[in-house]
């Protein structure tokens, strides 16, 4: 469970750090969408869920906003406007008298479908990357007659289409032969920044770890370790997120309920937890948040403890320092009890207590490097 030079643990009880792989992460942190409006009419699509959906605030520099459901004008009383809220993923025709930029903050939406009527419709484009027209509209391509914007058009029977790709942030006029439902196959973009998840008022800070390759193992380690530590070999990992701190008593209570253990603080690591208890906790965390968390693999734990790509050249003896007192609580400085998390210095990635404090469970079984681990999954 981690390399010998990182282990300065003061407790025989196990705590754990949760990890979240962005490959299976379905909800997103907040993202900004920037839209540049030209003087005159613009076809606009918003692919984030605005924190404030008030149309006047989202399109603060526009004087007219239209869609298939109605219109909004700044020059008339509010009760005459037939639209007042922004629906992410839908298309809007926006007029402004001068060039302006708008910034919209919110999570990226996953619009699954849009109902279209026979004839012309305004549709948004909910993808966060460009796609060719046929791919983007694949679910109704046999019913599409024409797609156009202010710059060009696309027709299934035309050999001179001037519109080839659909672009994030833009909206389009689409003419369909019959009523139909446009099904979007929207993939959520990976989150490549730190973020905070909140459960019952308790924060879970997650640190983004960029994937990379590092050398694992040792040839000159102690005999009892060598069966698991040799040979030195190259390991490549994908991006993932890791908890900034060991799971605390407060974080445990937020998910599992119960009382604070006697003699413990809310911010000290949750100890006395079995590997199976840790996985039960994570499965419940999944069900509450709708996200996919798990324990770190042993390889991920070591990569994060080494400081990831940022720590490759440091080769510290402990996680973040050559001085144990800088980064770790252990037998001689902790009074032989778990200390509040985050009270020593972090490592290069901003992760705390990867050396010292409580032991940490990992996802896979302890076994030689040449054997495939079989991790647990939430059912």
Model confidence over 187-231: pLDDT tens digits? Answer: 556 678 888 889 999 999 999 999 999 988 877 777 777 777 778
Residue 23 has pLDDT above 50, yes or no: no
Q: Residue 103's domain spans which residues?
A: 30-183
**Residue 6: pLDDT band with limits 50, 70, 90:** very low
Residues 202 and 156 both lie in one domain: no
Closest of 6, 29, 12 to residue 296, by C-alpha: 6
Task: Indicate whether 341 belongs to any domain.
Answer: yes
Residue 281 has pLDDT above 60, yes or no: yes
Q: List the CATH number of the domain containing 201.
A: 3.90.1580.10
Instruction: Supply the DSSP symbol for 241.
Output: E
Residues 15 and 42 both lie in one domain: no
> What's the CA gap between 221 and 206, in Å, rounded?
33
Residues 168 and 249 both lie in one domain: no
Residue 172 has pLDDT above 90, yes or no: yes
Task: Indicate whether 139 belongs to any domain.
Answer: yes
Residue 114 has pLDDT above 90, yes or no: no
Give me the mean pLDDT over the 321-335 stretch.
92
The confidence score (pLDDT) of residue 230 equals: 78
Residues 17 and 52 both lie in one domain: no
Helix (H) or strand (E) holding 324: helix 324-327
Residues 250 and 340 both lie in one domain: yes
pTM, 2 dp = 0.58
Closest of 204, 366, 359 to residue 272, by C-alpha: 359
Task: Indicate whether 377 belongs to any domain.
Answer: no
Residues 133 and 11 both lie in one domain: no
Chain centroid to Cα 93, Å, comes to 31
Q: What residues contact residue 85 under an 8 Å CB cut-off, 6+ apart?
A: 53, 54, 55
Q: What is the mean pLDDT of the chain?
A: 82
Cβ density class 227-244: b for 16+ within 10 Å, e for less: eebeeeeebebebbbbbb
The confidence score (pLDDT) of residue 10 equals: 35
Which of 6-15, 30-39, 292-301 has the least mean pLDDT? 6-15
> What's the CA gap between 117 and 4, in Å, rounded?
66
Q: What confidence tens digit (pLDDT) does each residue in 224-260 have?
A: 777 777 788 888 888 889 999 999 999 999 999 988 8
Give me the mean pLDDT over the 64-84 stretch.
87
**Cis peptide preceding 336, ω within 30 of 0:** no
**Residue 24: pLDDT band with limits 50, 70, 90:** very low
Task: Indicate whether 369 belongs to any domain.
Answer: no
Residues 158 and 208 both lie in one domain: no
Residues 260 and 340 both lie in one domain: yes
The confidence score (pLDDT) of residue 88 equals: 79
Give me the mean pLDDT over the 340-368 stretch.
87
Give me the mean pLDDT over the 342-366 stretch.
89
Q: What percent of the chain has pLDDT over 70?
A: 85
Q: How many CA atoms, within 13 angstroms, populate the side-chain half-sphere of residue 265? A: 7
Which of 16-25, 158-167, 231-240, 305-314 has the least mean pLDDT? 16-25
320 near 24, Cβ under 8 Å?
A: no
For 67, other C-beta atoms within 10 Å of its C-beta total: 22
At how many degrees (to 10) do helices 249-256 and 275-289 cross? 60
Q: What is the dihedral of CA 48, 50, 55, 58, to 10 degrees?
A: -80
Task: Indicate whether 372 belongs to any domain.
Answer: no
**Residue 186: pLDDT band with limits 50, 70, 90:** low
Cβ density class 350-361: b for 16+ within 10 Å, e for less: ebbbbbbbbbbb
Task: Indicate whether 166 belongs to any domain.
Answer: yes
> What's the CA gap between 368 and 231, in Å, rounded?
10
Residue 2 has pLDDT above 60, yes or no: no
Highest-pLDDT range among 122-126, 173-177, 333-337:
173-177
Closest of 335, 357, 354, 337 to residue 346, by C-alpha: 354
186 near 28, Cβ under 8 Å?
A: no
Which residues are 170's β-sheet partners? 44
Higher-confidence residue of 109 and 289: namely 289
The confidence score (pLDDT) of residue 231 equals: 81
Question: What's the total number of domains in the chain?
Answer: 2
Q: Which among 183, 201, 235 is the end of a domain?
A: 183
Instruction: Give the angle subtended at the CA of 298 by the CAs of 7 and 255, to the nearest 5°.
Output: 95
Residues 107 and 177 both lie in one domain: yes
158 to each of 140, 147, 148, 274, 360, how far by Cα in Å?
17, 11, 13, 65, 62
Residue 368 has pLDDT above 70, yes or no: no
Residues 225 and 212 both lie in one domain: yes
Give me the mean pLDDT over the 137-142 stretch.
92
The confidence score (pLDDT) of residue 11 equals: 33
The confidence score (pLDDT) of residue 31 equals: 63
Q: Which among 165, 183, 201 is the end of a domain?
A: 183
Q: What confidence tens digit (pLDDT) does each residue in 310-327 have?
A: 998 898 989 999 999 999
**Residue 174: pLDDT band with limits 50, 70, 90:** very high
219 near 232, Cβ under 8 Å?
A: yes
Residues 249 and 177 both lie in one domain: no
317 to each of 13, 59, 305, how far by Cα in Å?
23, 54, 11
Task: Indicate whether 368 belongs to any domain.
Answer: no
Task: Indicate whether 227 belongs to any domain.
Answer: yes
Higher-confidence residue of 89 and 153: namely 153
165 to each of 23, 37, 149, 180, how far by Cα in Å?
26, 20, 11, 22
Higher-confidence residue of 334 and 19: namely 334
Residue 145 has pLDDT above 80, yes or no: yes
Residues 57 and 137 both lie in one domain: yes
Which of 12-16, 118-122, 278-282, 314-318 has the least mean pLDDT? 12-16
């Amino acid at each position: 469970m981690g390399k010998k030079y990182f282990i300065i643990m003061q407790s025989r009880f196990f705590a754990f750090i949760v990890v979240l792989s962005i490959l299976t992460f379905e909800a997103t942190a907040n993202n900004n969408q920037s839209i540049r409006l030209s003087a005159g009419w613009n076809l606009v699509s918003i692919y984030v869920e605005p924190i404030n959906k008030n149309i006047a605030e989202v399109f603060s520099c526009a004087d007219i906003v239209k869609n298939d459901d109605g219109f909004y004008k700044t020059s008339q009383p509010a009760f005459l406007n037939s639209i007042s809220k922004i629906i992410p993923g839908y298309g809007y025709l926006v007029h402004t008298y001068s060039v302006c930029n708008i910034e919209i903050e919110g999570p990226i939406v996953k619009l699954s479908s849009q109902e279209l009527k026979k004839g012309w419709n305004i549709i948004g484009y909910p993808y966060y990357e460009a796609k060719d027209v046929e791919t983007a509209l694949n679910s109704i391509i046999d019913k599409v007659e024409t797609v156009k914007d202010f710059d060009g058009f696309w027709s299934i029977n035309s050999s001179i289409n001037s519109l080839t790709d659909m672009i994030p942030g833009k909206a389009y006029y689409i003419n369909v032969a019959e009523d139909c439902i446009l099904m979007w196959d929207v993939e959520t973009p990976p989150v490549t920044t730190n973020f905070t998840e909140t459960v019952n008022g308790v924060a879970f800070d997650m640190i983004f770890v960029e994937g990379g390759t590092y050398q694992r193992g040792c040839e000159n380690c102690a005999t009892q370790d060598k069966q698991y530590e040799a040979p030195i070999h190259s390991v490549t990992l994908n991006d993932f997120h890791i908890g900034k701190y060991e799971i605390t008593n407060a974080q445990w209570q937020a998910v599992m309920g119960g009382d604070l253990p006697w003699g413990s603080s809310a911010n000290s690591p949750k100890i006395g937890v079995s590997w199976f208890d840790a996985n039960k906790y994570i499965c419940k965390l999944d069900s509450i948040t709708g996200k996919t968390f798990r324990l770190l693999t042993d390889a991920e734990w070591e990569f994060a403890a080494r400081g990831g790509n940022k720590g490759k050249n440091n080769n510290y003896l402990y996680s973040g320092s050559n001085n144990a007192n800088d980064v770790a609580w252990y037998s001689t400085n902790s009074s032989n009890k778990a200390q509040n998390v985050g009270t020593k210095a972090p490592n290069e990635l901003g992760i705390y207590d990867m050396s010292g404090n409580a032991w940490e469970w990992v996802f896979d079984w302890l076994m030689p490097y040449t054997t495939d681990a079989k991790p647990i999954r939430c059912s």
